[in-house]
Structure 1
C-alpha cells in the first residue's frame, strides 16, 4: 500500500525535469511537502508513536523506489533518522534530516562530517562521532559541495562551539543505516538504468534490425542484468532482519556487492547507448552519476569487503557457502 502510494507521488512529482531543477538550485518543497504531509517520514516509527510501524523488509521496496526515481531529497535518510531516534527523549526536528556515518574533530576543534549525503540541502544531521549519536543543526555549519556536477553531497564543518544534542551511544548505527540505504538506492537506480538500456536496444535499428537482436549486444545486456539482479538480492538482504536497524554483516555484504556492480553496469549502459550516452540531455546520466557517487558513499566495496573478509576469517571452521547462508539468522515464525 505505502509502496504504491509513494510510487504514484514520485511518478507525478519526481520527474527528470524536477530532478534537474533541484540540481540547478530550485527547491523541491512541493515534493517534500507531499511526502511529509502524507506521513511517509514516519514509516519506521512505531505505531504507539503515531507512525506506520513498518518493518525493515516492508520499507525496502520504498527505498528501492527512491533510487529508481533518482529522488533528489534525503527522504530515506529522514525516515531512518526517526528510527534511530526511537529511544531518545527529543522529538525529531521538522525539516530534512540526513545521516553522517562518520564524523571527526579536526585539530582546531571543528567537527567535520565528510561527504554527507544531501549535505547541501539538509536542515539537520544525525551524526556518528566516535560512537556518540549527535543531532546537529546544519544552518550552523559551513557547507563545502563535492564539486561534482549536480551533486547534493557536501562536507559540513561545524564550529567548536556549535550546539549539538547528544542522543546516546548508538552512533555506529548511523553508518550501518546509511550504508544500507545507499545499497538500496544503488539497486533501484541500476534497475532503472537497465530498463532504459533495454528499451533503447529494442528501439534502435541498425543494419535493418534492432541492435538488441545482435548477439554481442545481448551478451552485454545479460551480464548487466546479472549484476543488477545480484545487487537487488544483496541489498534486500540488509533489510531482512526483524531488528530496528540493518544487520552489520548483511549491510557490509549489501554495500560491497552493489558498489562492485556500479562500474560495469554504468559502463555497459553508456556503451550501448553509443554517442548519445554521454549527453546531458539523456536521462541516463541522472542515474549513472548518482551510482558513481553512491558507490563511494559510506565507504566503497574495498572497505565493506574487508569487513566481510574479517568476519569470515573469524570463523575458520565455517565454509564460505555456509557463512553466506547464515548471514541473517532464521527468524521464528
Structure 2
C-alpha cells in the first residue's frame, strides 16, 4: 500500500511540475521571486503533508518513499521550497501549530553563526545569527538544532516573522536570507531535546539537497544527450564523435553514482546509520554535481549559458545546492571521523551492515 501511495504522490507531482515549471516560473524566481499560485497548487495537492501521519492529515509515507519527491523537485528544478517544507513540517512534530500551506525553512550548521540557546525560567533565549537561510523571508517557521548551555542538543523553532531578514539570493536567484536573533525569546514548547540517533536539521537539509542534485543531474544528462544528437558539425551529429561520447559516458557514470548514494541515504533514515550515509551522499553527490555540470556545458558549448536554453537553470542550482548544508569537505570530515572511531577491527563489520 505504501508503494501505491508513493507512486500516486509522484505521479501527481510529475503532472503538476510538467504543467507549471518552465522558463516563465524560473524567471519569476530570479532575485528571490516566489509564485504564490504554484505554491498553493502544491499545497492543495497534499504534497507538503505526505510525510505526516494519516491522523494528522498526511499520507503516512515513510522517509525513503516520501523523499523520492525531493529527487523529482530537482529533476524539474522547481523554484519553490517544497523539499524543505515537507521535511520541515514533519520535524515540527508538536513544536508549533501549522496550516496546510506553511513554508518551513531549515537552518543547518553552516547557516548558524555562533548561535546560542539558554534556558530562562519557562522560556528559552536564542542569540547569534542565521546566515543565508534558504527561503528565510518566505518562511512561516525556521527550524534549527543547537546546543544549550549544558551541552545538550536541542531542536528549536522560531517564527520567521519575528526576524528582520537581510535579503540575498543564491547563484540560481533563489532567496537566501540572513537575520540576527538578538536574544529572541521562544516558548518552552518550541524547543525539544534530540539524541544522536535522530538526524539533525543539518543532515536532513544535506539529504534533500543530495536528492535534488541527483534529480537535476539526471535532467542535465537528458538535455546533453538530446543536444548532442541534434547539434551537427562537419555534416553529422556531435554525438557521433568519440570525444563527445566519452564525455557523456563519464557524465552518465557520475549521475548513476549520485543517484545511488542519495537513494541509499534515504533508505538509511528509517534503518541503519543515517548520519554516516548522509555524509557520504552529500560528499559524493557534490563531487558528481561539479563534474556533471562541467560536461553538460562542454557538450552544449556557449548555448547552455544563454537565457534561451534551459540547461543553466539546472546547473546554477547544482552549483548552489552543492555548497548548501555543508560542502564536500564538511561531510568528508564527518565521515572520516566516524570511520576512524571504529578502529581496524570495526570497519568491515560496520560497512557490511549498512
Aligned to 2:218: 191
Which string of whole-angstrom CA distances, capped at 9 and with x for unpartnered residues, describes residues 264-299 of structure 1?
A: 111111111112122233211111111111111111
Q: For structure 1, which segment, 116-125 or 42-51, has the greater mean C-alpha deviation from structure 2 after superposition?
A: 116-125
Runs of 4+ with >4 A deviation: 104-107, 162-165, 318-323
Please give the residue correspondences for 1:233-244 in structure 2 after superposition, counting only pairs within 5 Å: 233-241=260-268, 243=270
CA contact (8 A) 2:172 2:317 kept: no
CA contact (8 A) 1:176 1:246 kept: no
Aligned to 2:150: none
**Aligned residue pair count:** 325
Q: Secondary structure of the equivalent of 1:125?
A: strand
Q: Does 1:142 align with 2:149?
A: no
Aligned to 1:330: none
Q: For structure 1, which segment, 271-280 or 216-225, has the greater mean C-alpha deviation from structure 2 after superposition?
A: 271-280
CA contact (8 A) 2:170 2:320 kept: no
Q: For structure 1, which segment, 63-72 or 312-321, has the greater mean C-alpha deviation from structure 2 after superposition?
A: 312-321
Please give the residue correspondences for 1:166-205 in structure 2 after superposition, counting only pairs within 5 Å: 166-170=190-194, 173-205=200-232
Q: Does 1:283 align with 2:283?
A: no
Q: Which runs of 5+ in 2 are unaligned?
A: 1-7, 117-125, 148-152
Relative distance call for 1:313 and 1:222 in structure 2 (3 A) is: same
Coordinate RMSD, CA, aligned: 2.4
Q: For structure 1, which segment, 115-124 or 193-202, has the greater mean C-alpha deviation from structure 2 after superposition?
A: 115-124
Of 233, 236, 258, which aligns to 1:206?
233
Q: Does 1:74 align with 2:81?
A: yes
Give the Å deviation of 1:152.
1.8
Partner Cα distance (2:193, 2:98) in 1: 17
Relative distance call for 1:153 and 1:325 in structure 2 (3 A) is: farther
CA contact (8 A) 1:56 1:244 kept: no
Q: Secondary structure of the equivalent of 2:106?
A: strand
Give the Å deviation of 1:203.
0.5
CA contact (8 A) 1:56 1:246 kept: no
Q: Does 1:266 align with 2:293?
A: yes
Q: For structure 1, which segment, 317-326 or 31-40, has the greater mean C-alpha deviation from structure 2 after superposition?
A: 317-326
Q: Secondary structure of the equivalent of 2:194?
A: coil
Q: Which runs of 5+ in 1 are unaligned?
A: 328-333
Q: For structure 1, which segment, 113-122 or 213-222, has the greater mean C-alpha deviation from structure 2 after superposition?
A: 113-122
TM-score for both structures, normalised by structure 2: 0.84
Partner Cα distance (1:11, 1:245) in 2: 35
Q: For structure 1, which segment, 245-254 or 207-216, has the greater mean C-alpha deviation from structure 2 after superposition?
A: 245-254
Which string of whole-angstrom CA distances, capped at 9 and with x for unpartnered residues, describes residues 18-60 of structure 1?
A: 1211225543111111111122111111122221110112113
